[in-house]
Each structure stands twice: as C-alpha cells, then as structure tokens.
Amino acid sequence: MNTEIFNVKNPGTEGYSRAISRGAELLRAGELVAFPTETVYGLGGNGLDGAACRKIYEAKGRPSDNPLILHVADFEGLKKIVSRVTETAEKIFAAFMPGPITVILPRSACVPDAVTGGLDTVAVRMPDQPVARDLILAAGLPVAAPSANISGRPSPTNGETVSRDLSGRIGAIMDGGSTDWGIESTIVDCTEADGADTVTILRPGAVTAEMLGEIIGTVKQAAPTSAAETESGLKRAPMAPGMKYTHYAPKSPLTLAADKETLLKEYQRRRSEGEQVGLLLFAEDYPDCEAEYKCSLGSRANLREIAAGLYDRLRYFDELPVDSLLCPIVPREGLGVAIMNRLGKASGGRMI
C-alpha cells in the first residue's frame, strides 16, 4: 500500500487544509490515517466501523482484545458514544478536557465491539491539538486510535518515527512535527456510581493524581497486574486490558539505577566484563560520564523535557551495538509517576 505523507506543521495554509480534507476522506472510506495529538501519534480509523477498527489491529500487530480509545473533537461528539456521563466525568470534562486525559464510561450502542474488545465501557478522549481536532471534525466521526507504533515498540512522538513503523501499511501520515508531552494520556475510570466521588487511574500521564485530587474526593490507583500474575492465570481482571500485555522492552535489557553513584559503579563493572553498555543520563551528569554510548534525558529538574524525549531515546539505543542499558530513576512525584510507569515497563522492573 502506498502511504501518503502530508506536512501539517502550518495550520492555516492551503496545503494544510488540503491534507486535512484528504485525511478525512480516507477515514470516511475506512482507511487508516496516523495523526499527531498532544501526547503521542495516534493511528486513526473510523470508530463506528468495525472493519476499519480491525484494520488498526492488523496494521499494528495488536491483540484484538486490547480495546481502543475513541477520539472526539467536542462534547457533542463525546455524548454520542457514551450511554451515561457520571458526575465525576462531568468534573473531569470541565477541568481537563480537551487535554491529555482519557475517561472510561459506559458505552453507547453505536460503538462496535471491535473498539471495546467486547467490554460494556468505552475509552474517550478529546485531544487538544489542532491537527487532531481538525481531522476529527472534517471526518465527522469519532476516530478510534491507539498509539501509531508497531505493537511492542515505544509510542511514536514524531512523524518520521510513525513512518518507520507503519509506512506501506496505512493510508496516510499527517506529519505535524514533535508532540508536546511525549507519553500517552492519563486513563481514568469514571464508571463508579454517582455520588461516590471516586475515580481510578488506570494509566498515569500528564494529568496527575494530585491534579485529579483537587476536583475529585478519592483518587485510586489501579493495582498493576504483574506478568507473573497474568501467566499464572490469576482471576483478578486487569482494569485496563492493555496493562496485561508486555510493553516495550528495548532490544538490550534496561536496568534502572537508584542514583548516579550506583549507575556509574554498575557501568564500570559491566565494562570491566567486556560488555558494551548504553547510558541514559540526566543533562547535568552527561558531560562528566566518559562513555562511548550515551545520551541525555534532559535536565533532572525538567520532567516535561524528560517525558517528551523518553521514547525517542529508547528507540535510539535499539540502533546501537550495546549489550545492556542503564538509566537513572526520577522521583515518583507529579509527571515523574508517569515517567517511572513507562520506565518500569521498559525495564521489566529491573532496578539496582
């Protein structure tokens, strides 16, 4: 399949309008279109068309019981795909939508099983990104979109990375440059009974537990389902089905280090055993670490910068001849919770 690639970095230009119209036309025809959001790139398909959604799973190589998020441009579009808006959801809409957050609500009858994996709930998100918004509005549809990567790879944060993973497999790529946040949206289960004033965070992201706590009485954190639990067939249902799948693991095993000293000591030990080691380092530590394979995560004081570049850094080492990787941890506060969640998955929980 020939993948059409459009530059949509300049809203307001004629080229931009033409690209959006073509993308919308492809979506309405049941084809797949990758597009930027403020978090990561999404791989979009017609969210009301089961066949288009099945194409998404096929293009990504994704298990079909891992449900998709439906993206809408406004509240009118949102209300068509849910059967009920709970009180907690109303509060979240008012405070954080549009923005980097996804809410789980009871689904309406028009949502195909291919989107929800047969669940009676649906994940809805209203991106705050002009290309995403314009594309959804022009298509006139809710757009089903997982991250636009081959399953098992880190989510893409720029157009070139989408192209490397998906060129030849999808209809078009809207290249809008680098995304703002660099990690996926916060997922919040808002299906508690009205009056409960409780939500559960299924996946941490840019909208933090602290931010939710300012408007909701009780903010719970979903217990992570470990790989061991999944393998032993334990009955506790994971609340975000995606949580049970092995997530991105770099080609070379990644270990997290509690501090700079631990990281450097482990680096020296591995080097003395003849290993090639890749180092991810805070910008502050980068200049005085003499290593052949190293890259900067950004300043330890700037978690937004670290989140924005994280997936690209991990992909970078996949191209290098390293046997293993070492990366420092960040404090589990604010955006650091989401960064540590992704690093935890990428490292399979290995920490020294």
Residues that bind ligand TXA (CB under 6 A): 37, 39-40, 42, 66-69, 102, 104, 116, 119, 121-123, 125, 145-147, 184-185, 187, 202, 239-242
Closest residue to ligand TXA, Cβ-based?
242
Per DSSP (E only), the strands in the chain are 4-7, 33-35, 42-46, 69-71, 101-106, 121-125, 143-144, 172-175, 186-189, 198-203, 218-221, 254-257, 277-282, 293-298, 324-328
* Residue number with CB closer to ligand TXA (118 or 331): 118
Q: Which of residues 19-38 bind Mg ion (CB under 5 A)?
A: none
> How far, in Å, CA of 7 to CA of 10, rounded?
8
Strands 198-203 and 218-221: parallel
Least Cβ distance, residue 285 to Mg ion (angstroms): 30
Q: Which two structure tokens, joined as six digits, stand for 26? A: 């492809």
> How far, in Å, CA of 260 to CA of 350, rounded?
16
The distance of Cα 253 from the centroid of its chain, to the nearest Å, equals: 21
* Residue number with CB closer to ligand TXA (146 or 278): 146
- Cβ–Cβ < 8 Å for 204, 345: no
Least Cβ distance, residue 155 to Mg ion (angstroms): 5
Q: Among residues 40, 10, 39, 51, which one has the least CA distance to residue 134?
A: 10
Q: Which two structure tokens, joined as six digits, stand for 71? A: 């993206």
Is position 147 an interface residue for Mg ion (rule: CB under 5 A)?
yes
* Residue number with CB closer to ligand TXA (34 or 297): 34
> Binding partner of residue 119 among Mg ion, ligand TXA, none, CB under 5 to 8 Å per kind?
ligand TXA
Least Cβ distance, residue 302 to ligand TXA (angstroms): 21
* Residue number with CB closer to ligand TXA (241 or 336): 241
* Residue number with CB closer to ligand TXA (15 or 61): 61
Least Cβ distance, residue 290 to ligand TXA (angstroms): 37
Question: Which residues of this protein are in contact with Mg ion, per CB under 5 A?
Answer: 147
